[in-house]
Amino acid sequence: MKATEAYLEPEFKSVDLREGGEFEYEASVVIPCRNRVRTIGDAIRSALSQKTDFSYNVIVVDDNSVDGTVDVIKSFDDSRLIYIAQDDSYHAIGGNWNAAIHHPKCGRFALQLDSDDVYSDENTVQKFVDAFRRENCAMVIGSYQITDINLRPLPPGVIDHKEWTESNGRNNALRINGLGAPRGFWVPLLRTINFPTVKYGEDYAVALRISREYRIARIYDVMYDCRRWEDNSDAALDVQKVNANNYYKDSLRTWELRARKAMNKV
């Protein structure tokens, strides 16, 4: 990285979490989904069962499901649940996230929960917000455990990215395929960046962009159960799809490398 003049010293832009205007909710759990009738109920129940000392809501963005997912979403009678129905244009996961973070009811912090996963316990949302307040940062990433659909642990077990360091984490981020999960974002900044309208690597793209200038804090406790089952979007991909995914992330790294080199020349 130093040889390419893209290395970044551990110097970051400061963040004032009070900026960005008034928020009715301190946090929003964001759940994008498409055709997840079997699992969306588990995700919503997990999100709504969180214990916090602040107000939060759950934003479910459905991208034209046709399998009964919408019926499951509408079966929940809870004022904290916000349902966004996307039109039939192309959105992908990134576009669904953008719909959530720009919703007027979105909280100050937007927290990830995929439609086939669950939080590990009822304290995940509180831990996220506590970390934002303590670290005064733009993004927080927790740790997760791989499980089957019934929450039985699967190899490789806990993914915590303990290789991350304050001094070199964002440089090493260009060498790895992802920064971990679950992810939490400070919404005022995220609204200026937005997610790319893609269904793979949208999280990596945003994390790289944020890390270019801002600190990312880590939580090494397991906060999230990442469930592996036959209908996972990344299950049993053919070689062409795997190659396309890898090419996209390689492209993200190339673009980010160029941006960091340019920033260092200023």
Q: Is residue 120 assigned to a domain? A: yes
Q: Can you give the pTM of this predicted structure?
A: 0.95
Range of the domain at 174: 27-265
Q: Is 187 helix (H, G, I), strand (E, B) or coil?
A: helix
Q: For position 111, which CATH number holds?
A: 3.90.550.10
Q: Give the rounded percent of residues in the chain with a pLDDT score beyond 70.
A: 98
pLDDT tens digits, one per residue of 154-194: 999 999 999 999 999 999 999 999 999 999 999 999 999 99
Q: Is residue 101 assigned to a domain? A: yes
| Section 22-28 average pLDDT | 98
pLDDT tens digits, one per residue of 192-240: 999 999 999 999 999 999 999 999 999 999 999 999 988 766 656 889 9
Q: Is residue 13 assigned to a domain? A: no
Task: Please count the structural domains in the chain.
Answer: 1
Residue 142 contacts residue 219 (beta carbons within 8 Å)? yes
Residue 236 is predicted with a pLDDT of 66
Identify the residue with better confidence: 122 or 18.
Answer: 122
Q: Is residue 7 assigned to a domain? A: no
Q: Is residue 171 assigned to a domain? A: yes
Tell me the C-alpha distance between 217 and 70, whole Å: 35
Tell me the C-alpha distance between 65 and 167, whole Å: 43
Q: Where are the beta strands (DSSP E) in 9-162?
A: 27-33, 56-62, 81-85, 109-112, 118-119, 139-148, 153-159
pLDDT tens digits, one per residue of 99-120: 999 999 999 999 999 999 999 9
Q: Where are the beta strands (DSSP E) in 34-160?
A: 56-62, 81-85, 109-112, 118-119, 139-148, 153-159
Residue 126: pLDDT band (50, 70, 90) is: very high
Q: Is residue 46 assigned to a domain? A: yes
Tell me the C-alpha distance between 103 and 97, whole Å: 10
Tell me the C-alpha distance between 215 and 12, whole Å: 6
Q: Is the pLDDT of residue 141 over 90?
A: yes
Q: Is residue 8 assigned to a domain? A: no
- R_g (Cα) of the chain, nearest Å: 18
